Each structure stands twice: as structure tokens, then as C-alpha cells.
Amino acid sequence: MKRQFRTLLLILIVSSCTPYENSSHWIQDFGYELSLSPDGNLLSVTTNTGLYIYDAHSFNQLKAFSDRSRSILSGSIVIFGNEYMAAINGAGLHVWNQNDYSLLFQEKATDPIQFQSISISPDDKWLVTGEQKQFRLWSLPDGKVMAKFPIDGFVSNLAFTDDNTLIVIEQYKAIIQEWDLQSQKMIRSFEIPHDVLFFTLSEDGKIMFVDYGESGVELWNVETGKPVHYYRQIQGASGSTRLSGNDQVAIVWGMQLMGTTAAWAFGIWRKINASMNFLPRLLVVMAGDAGF
């Protein structure tokens, strides 16, 4: 629990601040996006100069996907599977073998905002890309497009709940859908009855944070389609909310309302600390007996 919290906190702080330096290594310039592998052993850092892979324990650099033009992989969103890793940005989609970092396939974007989100199934069989007006199902490792699913809007978030079941979020319409990829049919959907600025979906697709801007953030149970708890004390900084891999810890970085930032326990809903400060702060939420 403590190790997961420390790792989660490190990822958020490094991605939001100045370059990280340890005794022998620099993480290259500004860290736009950071991702951890499912086993917590690999850390990806995407920067203005490319994509870099580090050992998450020693912070030794394992691979540098740098490019002279500073455009091919800069600012990428990276997802790790067990055997494969993939990245999307305004330039397109890239997929590699995680063992030797050899490129398996790639696709150039037709529009800088074409690729919005990405996910790999737990069994490494499927890759899904969330795009404008559709999400696509790719087979791994050959990169064949197995299906295209039209959708009305941008697919901002994706997560597998098991090997064949996918949670899909349309950000601007605030609609959450569950799909069976074997039958290629939607199982169910529900809508958030408020305007939403940003969603943070857990890796297993079971819970999510919904950012309402000045109105605060709310924790939802995706499995039941119902809200769990409303945190009105902080105005989240969109894109800077993180959930741990075991759904036990959440961190919200933003401007606290009324000068108060607090740590909360899921399922107990009691404030466990607070500070008075009008600067951007961290809201740390730890799961107690939430029952997820």
C-alpha cells in the first residue's frame, strides 16, 4: 500500500513540475506524460525530445525513443501490456514488443487530434484506440484492425474490465458505455447528469473520478453506474488526477476551494487532515472500506 502510494505520488509530482534528477540520471527535460507498467517495474516518460523507458526501481534508463525532429513521439500517451507497449500522440499510433522494444506496427494520424485514448487487454490479445467518432479494435501482435465501432463524439477514456469487456467514455456527452468485444455489442450505458470537464478511469474500469471544474470532483462506481462520494473541497486541474492500480489511492491536484485541502478515506468520508493555502494543492484520497 505504502509503495503504491509513493509511486503514484512520484508520478504526479514529476509530471507536474521541473525535471527529475537523481544521483546519476536525468529524466529528459519536461515530463508531459508518465505511465507505469502493470507490474510496476517500468516507467515511461514522454517529453519534448521523445519517449524514454526507465526501471521504476533504480531509475536507470532502459530505452530512449528519441527523434531529431522532436515530433514523432514527443508528448505521447503510453500504455503498457504484459508483452507489448503502445503510444499515441498527434503524429499517430506506435506499438512495440516490450522485451526488445522492436516496432511491431504503426499508423500515421490523419488529424492531430485523431487518437484520444488507448488500452491493451489483460491477456495482450487486443489493442483498442479511442478516436474521433469511433474506437477501433486491433489484434496483437500483428496489428490487424478487427472491428470499427462508430460513436458520436470523442472517446476520451478506455479500460478493460476483463479480457473481452471494455469501458468506453464519450467525454463531451458524459456517456459511459460497456462493450462486449467478442459479440461486438454494447452491453449497457449510463450518463453523468452534469457538465463534465474531465474523466479519470481506473485501470480495471471499475471506478472513476468525474471532474466538474469549480463544482468539485465526484467518485463513481462504474459497475453500478452510481455516484459514491462528492468531494466539493477542491477544484481539480483537468488531466492531473490519478488512481492507483489497486483502486485504493487517488490523488487530485488542483486549487482547493475556500483555502482548504484535505485527505479523505474512501468509505469513511471523514477529513483526516487539512491546510489553509490558496496555492494549488494535492488532495490525497485513500481507500478504507469502500468495498470495491
Neighbours of 71 (CB within 10 A): 13
Task: Report DSSP state, residue 215.
Answer: G
Contact 93, 107 (CB under 8 A): yes
Cα distances (angstroms) measured from residue 116 to each of 126, 142, 156? 17, 22, 6
Contact 158, 177 (CB under 8 A): no
- For residue 194, the model assigns a pLDDT of 86
Paired strand residues for 33: 46
- For residue 185, the model assigns a pLDDT of 94
254 within a domain of the structure (yes/no): yes
6 within a domain of the structure (yes/no): no
111 within a domain of the structure (yes/no): no
- For residue 231, the model assigns a pLDDT of 78
Q: Domain range holding 206?
A: 198-292
Each residue's pLDDT expressed in tens, for the chain with a length of 292 residues: 555 545 555 555 444 443 434 434 444 455 667 888 888 899 898 887 788 999 988 989 999 987 655 557 877 889 999 999 999 988 899 999 999 999 999 999 999 989 999 999 999 999 999 998 999 999 999 999 999 999 888 899 999 999 999 999 998 889 999 999 999 999 999 999 988 888 888 888 998 888 887 778 888 999 999 998 887 766 655 556 667 666 666 666 655 544 444 444 444 334 334 443 333 344 444 443 333 3
Q: In angstroms, rounded to a whole number, what is the distance separating the alpha carbons of residues 11 and 33?
A: 9
216 within a domain of the structure (yes/no): yes
Q: In angstroms, rounded to a whole number, what is the distance separating the alpha carbons of residues 262 and 166?
A: 33
The DSSP bridge pattern shows strands 260-266 and 280-287 to be: parallel
Q: In angstroms, rounded to a whole number, what is the distance separating the alpha carbons of residues 230 and 271?
A: 13
pTM comes to 0.76
- For residue 168, the model assigns a pLDDT of 95
88 within a domain of the structure (yes/no): no
213 within a domain of the structure (yes/no): yes
178 within a domain of the structure (yes/no): no
> What is the number of structural domains in the chain?
1
Q: In angstroms, rounded to a whole number, what is the distance separating the alpha carbons of residues 17 and 274?
A: 23
215 within a domain of the structure (yes/no): yes
